[in-house]
Structure 1
Amino acid sequence: MVFKQFREVLRNPKLLIPVIAILFIPILYSGIYLWAFWDPYANTEKLPVAVVNEDQGAKLDNKKLHIGDDLVKELKDNDDFKWEFVSAKQAEEGIKDNKYYARIVMPEDFSKRAKTAMDPHPDKLRLEYETNSGYNYLGSQIGKKGIEKLNEKLSHKISRKYTEILFDKFGEMKKGIKKASDGAGKLADGSSKLTKGSNDLQKGSGKLAEKTKEFGDGIGQLNNGSSKLSDGLKQSEAGAGKLYDGVKSKTSDVNKLAQGSTQLNDGIGQLTSGLGKLDGKGSDIVDAQGKLAKGASQLNEGAQKAEQGAKKLADNGTPLAKGANTLNDGAQKLSKSTKLYAAGVLATSKGAEAVDTNLAAVLEALKKNPDMSKEVLIAKLTAIEAGSKKVSEGSKVLAEKGSSLVEGADQIAGGSSKLASGLEKYTGGADQLHSGLEGLVKGSGQLADGQEKLAKGTSLFMSKIGEVKEGSEKLQAGSSQLANGNEKLAKGWGTVVSGVGSLQDAQSKLYKGSIDLSGGLAKAQEGSIKLNDGVDQLDDGQKKLGKGIDSLNDGNEKLYNKLHKASNKAEKTKQTDDEVKMIADPVKTLNKSATDDLSYGVGIAPYFLSLGLYVGALMLTIVFPLVEPAGRVRNAFSWFFSKFAFMAVTGVIQALIADAIILNGLGLEVQSTGYFILFSIITSLTYMAIIQFLTTTMGNPGRFIAILILIFQLTSSAGTFPLEMIPNGLQSIHYFVPMSYSIAGFRAVITSGIYSDMWNNAIVLMYFMIPMLLLSIVFFVLKTKKLKQNEESAELE
């Protein structure tokens, strides 16, 4: 039946011509499509793209920058697209009129944005573009890819420009590194000196701490001495008050004494005169006795008064002398205390000057320190220095005033000593005066009493009158001296009272001054304690500072070594064009893909070849009788085989024609021509077996099912886009349609050369083909049985 089937087709022109036409269906379907889109990207120079340059340019490092103009010049020598340089209005109208597939716009600030690359917040260049997707999507996408590639080239160009500028800056930086290296060397030397100065400063701060402690101790001793001085001055002030009160109270007694002495002197003068007259005129003795009695009476009264005054003077002279002695002792103590005070003040002044000197040295050393974090310490030390200067100046003033105090105390001591000595003499004279006046009173009494005896002893008296006259003259001389002394005493007593008053005022002021001095010294002692604490803190800080300076010195040495090495390396670095290219475009893509140079047609050939063979098999079922036998049916297998053999030969011829034209006409290069032809035949036979079963068993409904299978295969076989890019629902269908495996097998033969993949996919196609053939045989077996039953029924009739 096989030969009969072939003979029937060959003898029937109505059947032969359609079959011959169907033999070219696969190549018509796949070949023409592949030829049309074999390498569409090779013709992009015919794709019109509008270019609008509105760049106004800019200046970068005093150099003109016109990136827009440079890009236009470059595009004029570029044939990737059909570049048309137009205005913004022309480009916009061209997009609307579908004249351009895309447009590129370089705005006014295109170059200006490029110069901001060195700014903290740079602005990226904006290369504006618009694709005309509504006119032709694929064309716009090709234009978009081209613009992206253009953007990449532009980025490399700008990067190179900035790399050149960066190298120029690097040249300046090398000089800066050299200067920094030299400066680091000087800094290292300075830090060494700073270390030495810090050591000296640390020693000075230690001495300062010792001297400050001594200064505090001296202030404490001076404060104690000041307290004792205040106590002594308080006692001295009290003694001076008592002395002043006592001296002032005796003023009236001294005046009375002077008056009594004058009266005594006058009486004695009268006595002497009387004695003279008596001596000259004895006859007048009786008369004179009366006058003598009267004078004696007056003498007795005056002597009594003088005796009373002298007694009071003697009584009061004793406490006055004691007060003067007390004043003398207090003045001597004052003199000793003030000498100690002056010495302490002088020591304070020297200690303060030492503090001032050491603090000035500290400040001078710290000011040489370039570390600005020590400013607070410098400010505190400046304040301490100012305070120490004030202490020094105050101490000098105290020392100066203390010298005056010593001199005044010495004068007080000397004056009080003389006063005590004079008062002792005065007290002694007053005692003698009292004793003499007592005798005078007794004598005047006896004189009055003896007036009765005078007459009796007149003759005797007259004989002794010369001696009495001589004694009276001596008594008058002594009385004159006593009167003169008492007169001087009366006159000088006011000065004594005034001096003692001045002494009391001076003692009060001195006492108040000592209290102020004691308070100031107490504050000075508190200040010295704080100063001592501050100096201790300064000493601790100086130790920490010394450690920090040591670390700084080590860091400076390391910095110098690093910068020196960096400077040497930088000097060895030379700018070359290759280095500029390397930095601007550091990555070079090395494509080691064996199939990278494939065209678009090669990529889609497996898909369209599989599609052409499937459509060719489907078209054959339209003109070829799939069930009607070519002769008498002997058995089911011969009937099936006659039909499948013709379809198989037709499929093989279709595959051979398609392969021949694709290989030789389009120039498709495959890894193995034999395997390519073999796999094409296997694919064609698989499709014939599937379509034979569907159309033979179901007729037109089966043909419709075959078309539905074709549709699902077109979407799920991953012939164009990768499987991962299609919807998940279609991905699950991918593994159940034969075209998925035919495409994968063709790719293995055409591009990858992995023949194991080809054989694996061929085996899967066999899994589709063999079951379809067996089912077709089952159909023909059943059909044969039914046909024989019909024949037997016809014979019986």
Structure 2
Amino acid sequence: MKSISVFSKDIGAAVKNRTLLISMIAILFIPVMYSGMFLGAFWDPYGKMDDLPVAVVNTDLGASYESKSLHVGDELIEELKNTDGFKWEFVSLEAAKEGMNNNKYYMTILIPEDFSAKATTLLNEQPKPAEIIFQPNEGYNFLASQIGSTAVEQIRAKVSAKVTEVYTETLFDQIETVSTGFSDAGTGANEITEGAVKLDDGALLLKENLSKLANGALKLQDGIQPLSQGVNDLGEGATQLKNGSSTLADGLAELLAAEKQLEDGTVQAQHGTTQLQTGLTSSAEGSAKIMAGLQSSVDGTSQLEVGLQSTVGGTAQLQSGLETSADGSAELAAGLLDAVSGSQQVATGASSVAQGLKTLVESSPELAQNTEIQKLLAASQAVAEGSNKLHQGQEQLAQGATQLNEGQTQLVLGATELHTGVTQLHTGASALNVGAQQLLQGSTELYQGQQKLVEGANQLEAGQLQLAEGLQLFGSKMGDAVSGSQQLAGGAEKIATGSDQLVGGMSQLDGGVITIADGSKQLSDGAGELKDGLVQLKDGSEELGTKLNEAADQTGEVKGTEETYNMFADPVVVAEEKMNEVPNYGTGFTPYFLSLGLFVGALITTIVIPIKGSSVSNASGLNRFVSRTLTFSSIGLLQALLAATLVLYALGLEVQNVPMFYLFSIITSLTFMFLVQTFVTWMDQPGRFVIIIILILQLTTSAGTFPVELLPGWLKVLNPLFPMTYSVQGYKAVISTGDYGMMWSHIGIMCIFGAAFLIATFLYFIMKRHNASIQEDEFLTS
């Protein structure tokens, strides 16, 4: 009870001391100001990008590609007008240059005159990539330029997708041309089949008539032989000769008509073969263009893969350089803090010397009249004033160095994200290159097959030309045969009327009949071979027509639609599925800055509130320990409540559990307060310097910004040794992840830290005893 009484009297004395009371009220808002200012400034910077002015200049003249007008620059401008990325200002080149020189614009995006023209060179022998010129004003704001480079990369991807859509549409048009060629070739093959069927029918009729001719000739031969045996059978033989010759004349006339049909069918077949050859030639030319385009695509994707590989290495070097720069700025900040402490001691000593001289002069009239003493007094006062100004300047330098380190830490985070994104883009480019090579191989095989079809069509046309010439010759000879048969019929008539002449020419007639029999036999055999060849021609043309129609159907199924073009231009999309989503920068950095604010608040509290003294004379060490501990605990409690309320209701922080968030903030604040109280109680001013060192180490090892795995090896060892490591992770659990098991575990660890430091402070007050009057003076003058 006496300890509580001492605490109450100390609080009463503090309330009566207006200066101390105002200072106590002010320190309650240190964590609020520290964490609130930082979090408020960086709560959602990307949500305000529409206020960042960016100049856009379009000088693209457009181009023509495959009879289509291509204006990629204008399409990019329309895309930017519908994009909420920056505050786009579409101006002339002169206005953009003037705005950059006057720091009106943070960056300029220039679309050159040949932008569309270069975009059409993909299928050329030496393609030239289209360029978007990005001009960041890095001297005006380096971070804005880095954000802009990321935005320009996204714009480049959109433009590339648009250009790829144009090329894909052209490619599908070529495939449609190939399909039309196959269809025309199939139609020609069908016409060949129809002509071959007609030729087959004519050849069958020809064979039948020639068989009749051979039979008639044999009968004629058999009829002549009896004539040689006697004149008595002359009338009957003459009649048979007349009938046989008439039959021969009719058969030859029919054979001549059938030959005309065969010749017409051959002409039709030749026309069909010509159409087939034309269609196959067009198809082969289209396939050659496709193959050339795909070869250019393979070369382009290979160059893209190599370029992205270099970019991956560059981003890795950028990340490494920024990490080194951040470490250097951290060392600079630590050194400046050391210098601040030293300049404080110098300023205090100089002030003490000046005050001592002043007191000495005022106490001695003789010294006051001494000129040299007056100069010495003025010099000491000037030194004291200069030391104070030096101390203030060094404090500003230390604050600037700390802010520099924080900015570089954020840059390292951006470089890491950039390196990860470029690595993923390189992986996608490799997959695209493999697919393009496979498509090129398939197109090459298609082209080779079409070349073979063209060669076969040329051979078929040559064979049909020879067949037509043979049929024309056969037709001319068949006319002679018809004329001969008619003459034979006339001769048989004369034989029937004049047997006298028959006896004289019997020997000649017998030889002629034998010749006719042999010739008709040969004609019959040749007609059989012609029929077999026409059957093969019909079967082959049917198979050719079937295959060509199948090819036409398969290529005709490849239809180009807007969805297909978009798929070719952007075949891979990333489906992001966030786990424990963090809505903005402020939410992500709250565990770090809130822990930092509470720690700084504890440090400032020990500067304002007396550490050891009491307003009660002869208070025991235990009473002073209880009074000081309750005082610091109360202030830490209020600081935690105010800071938590600010981020919850002023900044709009969303947490998993509000009561747990308040509880964790209170335990964090008390742990930091007991830590600071212990070092300052035992070591006084040097203790505050040690606290600053601990603060710096915690800022670098607590993994509040970057993962602990990215820290140097010797800093990883220090990570589990400081309480801010557990406060940052615990805040993440109660704010974002909802992992209350980890939160309670970290609460236990921080309670162990707090209890250990509280015991150390207790030991000091038990072991050290102070004069009561000194304690009271310290309390009342602090």
| TM-score normalized by the length of structure 2 | 0.50
1:86 aligns with 91
Matches of 1:156 and 1:177, distance apart in 2: 31
* Structure-1 separation of matches of 2:649 and 2:83: 33
User: Against the structure 1 CA distance between its residues 690 and 176, is the aligned structure 2 distance closer, same or farther, given a 3 Å change threshold?
Assistant: farther
Q: Does 1:9 align with 2:30?
A: no
From the superposition, tell whether residues 575 and 641 of structure 1 become closer, same or farther in structure 2 (CA, over 3 Å): same
Shift of 1:724: 4.2
Aligned to 1:55: 60
Could you tell me which residue of structure 2 aligns to residue 576 of structure 1? Answer: 561
1:184-231 per-position Cα deviation (integer Å, ceiling 9, x unaligned): 999999xxxxxxxxxxxxxxxxxxxxxxxxxxxxxxxxxxxxxxxxxx
Deviation at 1:689, TM superposition (A): 1.1
Aligned to 1:152: 157
Partner of 1:706: 691
SS of residue matched to 2:121: helix
1:237-316 → structure 2 map (5 Å cutoff): none
In the alignment, structure 2 segments of 5+ residues that lack a partner are 195-450, 456-539, 776-782
Conserved 8 A contact 2:592-2:705: yes
Residue 664 of structure 1 deviates from its aligned partner by: 0.8
How far off its partner does 1:566 sit?
A: 5.3
Which residue of 617, 633, 638 maps to 1:648? 633
1: distance between equivalents of 2:599 and 2:84?
40
Corresponding residue for 2:670?
685
Q: How far 1:82 sits from its partner (Å)?
A: 1.9
Q: 1:664 aligns with which of 623, 633, 649?
A: 649
Q: Deviations over 1:227-260 (max 9, x none)?
A: xxxxxxxxxxxxxxxxxxxxxxxxxxxxxxxxxx
The answer to which of 8-17 and 770-779 deviates more is 8-17
Residue 36 in 1 paired to residue 41 in 2?
Answer: yes
* Residue-by-residue CA offset, 1:96-124 (whole Å, 9 max, x unaligned): 33222111121222111111223355332
- For 2:541 and 2:718, the matched residues in 1 are separated by 74
Question: 1:15-414 counterparts in 2 under 5 A?
Answer: 15-119=20-124, 121-178=126-183
Which residue identity lines up with residue 69 of structure 1 in the other structure? D
Q: 1:652 to 1:116 in 2, by over 3 A?
A: same
In the TM superposition, what is the alpha-carbon distance from 1:23 to its structure 2 partner? 0.7
Quick one: distance in 1 between partners of 2:50 and 2:137? Answer: 17
Instruction: Spell out, residue by residue over 1:382-402, the C-alpha distance to the aligned partner (whole angstroms, 9 max, x if none).
Output: xxxxxxxxxxxxxxxxxxxxx
Q: Residues 49 and 725 (structure 1 numbering): CA distance in 2 closer, same or farther, change over 3 Å?
A: farther
- Taking the TM superposition and a 5 Å limit, the aligned residue runs for 1:294-693 are 567-596=552-581, 598-631=583-616, 636-693=621-678
Paired amino acid for 1:704: F
Shift of 1:629: 2.9
Looking at structure 1, the residues matched to 571 and 63 of structure 2 have their Cα atoms a distance apart, in angstroms, of 27
- Name the CA distance, whole Å, in 2 between partners of 1:187 and 1:689: 102
Which amino acid letter does the alignment assign opposite residue 154 of structure 2?
K
Q: Distance in 2 between matches of 1:597 and 1:181?
A: 63
Answer yes or no: is the 8 Å Cα contact 2:613–2:624 preserved in 1. no
2:720 to 735, 739, 747: 735
CA distance in 1, matches of 2:746, 2:192: 78
Pick aligned residue for 2:756 from 750, 771, 779: 771
Q: Report the residue type matching 1:652 in the other structure.
A: L
**Cα distance change of structure 1 residues 124 and 640 upon mapping to structure 2, 3 Å threshold:** same
Indicate conservation of the 8 Å contact 2:59/2:111, yes or no.
yes
1:720 aligns to what SS in structure 2? coil
> Which one-letter code corresponds to 1:582 in the other structure?
M
CA shift in 2, pair 1:70/1:697, >3 Å: same
Contact preservation (8 Å) 2:582, 2:588:
no
Structure 1 residue 678 displacement after superposition: 1.3
Deviation of 1:558 after TM superposition, in Å, equals 11
Give the superposition deviation at 1:21: 1.0
1:59–1:65 contact (8 Å) kept in structure 2: yes
Q: How far apart, in 1, do the equivalents of 2:719 and 2:675 lie? A: 17
Which amino acid in structure 2 is aligned with residue 131 of structure 1? P
Distance change in 2, residues 1:172/1:645 (3 Å): farther
- SS of structure 2 residue aligned to 1:17: helix
Give 3-state SS (helix, strand or coil) of 2:55's partner.
strand
Corresponding letter in the other structure for 2:576: N
CA-to-partner distance for each residue in 1:426-470, whole Å, 9 max, x for gaps?
Answer: xxxxxxxxxxxxxxxxxxxxxxxxxxxxxxxxxxxxxxxxxxxxx
Give the Cα separation in 2 of the matches to 1:564 and 1:725: 63
1:628 to partner: Cα distance: 0.8
CA positional deviation for 1:169: 3.0
Cα 1:570–1:711 change in 2 (3 A) is same
Amino acid at match of 2:114: D
Query: Partners of 2:609 and 2:105 in 1: how far apart?
Result: 50
CA contact (8 A) 1:640 1:780 kept: yes
Q: Secondary structure of the equivalent of 2:660?
A: helix
Name the counterpart of 1:476. Answer: none
Instruction: Write the letter of the residue equivalent to 2:738.
Output: G
Report the 3-state secondary structure (helix = DSSP H, G, I; strand = E; otherwise coil) of the residue aligned with 2:127: coil
Q: Could you say what secondary structure the match of 1:686 adopts?
A: helix
Q: Provide the secondary structure at the position in 2 that maps to 1:631.
A: coil
Q: Is the 8 A contact 1:633 1:639 kept in 2?
A: no
**Which is further off, 698-707 or 175-184?**
175-184
Amino acid at match of 1:175: T
The residue number in structure 2 matching 1:744 is: 729
Task: Provide the rounded CA distance (Å) in 2 between the counterparts of 1:15 and 1:143.
Answer: 50
- 1:758 matched to 2:743: yes
TM-score computed with the length of structure 1 as normaliser: 0.50
Please identify the structure whose Cα radius of gyration is greater. 1
Instruction: Flag the 1:371–1:739 CA change in 2: closer, same or farther, 3 A.
Output: closer
SS at the partner of 2:122? helix
Residue deviations 1:147-188 (CA, integer Å, cap 9, x gap): 222222222322333333333333224334546777999999
Structure 1 pair 626/163, CA: closer, same or farther in 2 (3 Å)? same
Question: In 1, are the aligned partners of 2:636 and 2:666 still within 8 Å (CA)?
Answer: yes
Number of aligned residue pairs: give it.
Answer: 437
Q: Which residue identity lines up with residue 135 of structure 1 in the other structure?
A: Y
SS of residue matched to 1:117: coil
Asked if the contact 1:25/1:615 (under 8 Å) is kept, the reply is yes
1:170–1:766 CA distance, 2 compared to 1 (3 A): farther
The Cα of 1:75 is off from its aligned counterpart by 2.3
Do the aligned partners of residues 581 and 85 (structure 1) sit closer, same or farther apart at CA in structure 2, a change above 3 Å counting? same
> What's the CA shift string for 1:651-687, capped at 9, x where partnerless?
1111111111211111111111122111111111111
Q: Give the superposition deviation at 1:140.
A: 1.5
Letter in 2 for 1:598: P
Q: Secondary structure at the match of 2:103?
A: coil
Distance in 2 of aligned mates of 1:645 and 1:144: 54
Q: What displacement does 1:700 show?
A: 0.8
SS at match of 2:687: helix
Over the matched positions of the two proteins, sequence identity in percent amounts to: 43
Which SS does the other structure have where 2:54 is aligned? Answer: strand
* Larger deviation, residues 685-694 vs 727-736: 727-736
Q: Deviations over 1:461-490 (max 9, x none)?
A: xxxxxxxxxxxxxxxxxxxxxxxxxxxxxx
Classify the secondary structure of the residue corresponding to 2:656: coil
Give the match's secondary structure for 2:69: strand
AA at the equivalent of 1:616: G
